[in-house]
Amino acid sequence: MSAETERLTAQINTAATDAERASLYYKRGRAFWQAGDKAAAISDYEHAAALDPQSEAATALELARDVMNFYHRERFNP
């Protein structure tokens, strides 16, 4: 974990409200995505979207799933 994600983890553990926790999960998910850890990012986006469906994490989750579901058909059928 980077210093940034460690700081966000500590804040998640002490967040007072679901909205605050959702925002922190989204920020930590974004930090994971930037670092290339897609699985951890998607997991955090899922937590954030479950806590607050209006959160920007819902859109980020959809974008991340688009990436994971994308299938390079041409690789086997050039």
Rg (CA), the chain: 14
Interface with other proteins includes 56 (CB under 8 A)?
yes
- Distance between CA atoms of residues 21 and 27, nearest Å: 10
Options 6-14, 15-23, 26-34: segment touching other proteins (CB under 8 A): 26-34
Count of positions on this chain that bind other proteins (CB under 8 A): 21
- As measured in angstroms, the least distance from the Cβ of 46 to other proteins is 15
Give residue for tokens 């991340």.
64
Burial class (CB in 10 A: 0-12, 13-18, 19+), 11: middle
Contacting other proteins (CB under 8 A), which of 6, 17, 34, 53? 34
* Interface ranges with other proteins (CB under 8 A): 30-31, 33-36, 38, 56, 59-60, 62-63, 66-72, 74-75
